[in-house]
Amino acid sequence: MKKIPYGRQSITDKDIEAVVSTLTSDYLTQGPKVKEFEIEFAAYVGAKYAVAVSNATAGLHISVLALGLKPGERVITTPITFAASANCVRYAGGEVWFADIDPSSYLLDINSTKELIESKPPGFFKGIIPVDFAGLPVDLEKFRELADEHGLWLIEDACHAPGGFFTDSTGTQQKCGNGKFADISVFSFHPVKHIACGEGGMLTTNSEEIYKSLQSLRTHGITKEDMSRNEGGWYYEMKELGFNYRLTDFQAALGISQLQKNDVGVVRRNEIAQKYKKAFEGKLKFQSLKQGDLNAHHLFVIEVDKRKELYDFLHQNNILAQIHYIPVHTLPYYQSIGYENAKLENSESYYRSCISLPMFPTLTDDEQQYVIDKVIEFIHG
Ligand SMILES: *Cc1c(COP(=O)(O)O)cnc(C)c1O
């Protein structure tokens, strides 16, 4: 069997044509394709506004700035995520606080978050960044309620979950990034994610004010609108310290083409997940799923006792399983700034046993059967 990665992009001839035709247009960097991608993405997730950015990390950075995060202010996130979900707070000079995960969903635990908030005086925290880990949507209705109770903002890190949804208390399906509960949702177009642009990201929101702020921060804080004076056609104003976090038009062309296949990809990812679950039911632990929710399945994670041995065994057999994630508070940088004594038992116990199996739409049935056979061989051996 040839090497099977844990995730990979799929690029079709149509994707290639879309990029090539943009290369000979008038725009290489941000132009009409970026605008079109933003409009189509906003419509896809059901949000009012979308802002394309150079990658999701940049998007997280300007999201905390747009929500007004100042040096020294505190934000809560989950340790079981990619470091960028926490790093964005550090870029703005803020402090990251971690609440623990729910051991069955692997998502930021609302009770742990509530306890942390209520253990401090009012105003101690400014925001919460829950993550739709592995593609499983966070119940943002509950997090919005908690955030409102304490005057906090809410950023949904939806990098794993385009196309996923949860069902709210009224029985309505709420798609990730639809802007109804989170102030801003963040998506990534890194090749290992659902929609590949090489690098790229998208921010969605229902607030016009936040939308304008994100647009300004993406392009140096420069604007030609609402200027204090106008010295001529060339004149612009830089009103705040922004960045160059733009997406290029040829990346956006690839993104538009990839977005059209996302629903089909999510269906295929769920087929793969069903087959894994059927094979492992009663033998292994995997992520829970509430009735009425749709996991977009960026990842398929299992938990096993001899995790390192399974990792080595699968790699020896050309199955490039991966670990998601090393808890962020245990990374050397976070240890060096004072998290040595953090006690996040569910996250640390999850990390000791988790391993992500291959999960991507072009994984063949034969490849998946081979993966299943090897995992079963290991747990019976
Ligand atoms: C990939 C990822 C990011 C960062 O995305 P980039 O586009 O690579 O910057 C942030 N958060 C999560 C949960 C991710 O998986």
200 contacts 188 by C-beta, under 8 angstroms: yes
136 contacts 164 by C-beta, under 8 angstroms: yes
Q: Is 185 in the pocket of ligand 1 (CB under 6 A)?
A: no
Rounded Cα gap, residues 53 and 178, in angstroms: 18
CA atoms within 13 A on the CB side of 91: 17
Q: Is 324 in the pocket of ligand 1 (CB under 6 A)?
A: no
Q: Is 132 in the pocket of ligand 1 (CB under 6 A)?
A: no
Q: What share of the chain is helix, strand, coil (3-state, %, to 5)?
A: 40, 15, 45
**Domains with residue ranges and CATH for the chain:** 4-259 (3.40.640.10), 263-380 (3.90.1150.10)
Pocket of ligand 1, candidates 82, 138, 197: which has the most ligand atoms within 8 Å of its Cβ, to mutate? 82
Residue 3, phi then psi, degrees to nearest 5:
-60, 135
Q: Is 218 in the pocket of ligand 1 (CB under 6 A)?
A: no
360 C-alpha to ligand 1 centroid (Å): 17
- Can you give the pTM of this predicted structure? 0.98
Q: Is 157 in the pocket of ligand 1 (CB under 6 A)?
A: yes
Which atom of ligand 1 is the closest one to the Cα of 160? 15
Instruction: Identify the residue whose C-alpha is closest to ligand 1 atom 10.
Output: 84
Q: Is 73 in the pocket of ligand 1 (CB under 6 A)?
A: no
How big is the CA angle at 328 (ends 312 and 359), to the nearest 5 degrees? 45
Cis bond upstream, residue 236 (ω within 30):
no
- Would you give per-residue pLDDT tens digits along the chain (381 residues)? 899 999 999 999 999 999 999 999 999 899 999 999 999 999 999 999 999 999 999 999 999 999 999 999 999 999 999 999 999 999 999 999 999 999 999 999 999 999 999 999 999 999 999 999 999 999 999 999 999 999 999 999 999 999 999 999 999 999 999 999 999 999 999 999 999 999 999 999 999 999 999 999 999 999 999 999 999 999 999 999 999 999 999 999 999 999 999 999 999 999 999 999 999 999 999 999 999 999 999 999 999 999 999 999 999 999 999 999 999 999 999 999 988 888 899 999 999 999 999 999 999 999 999 999 999 999 998
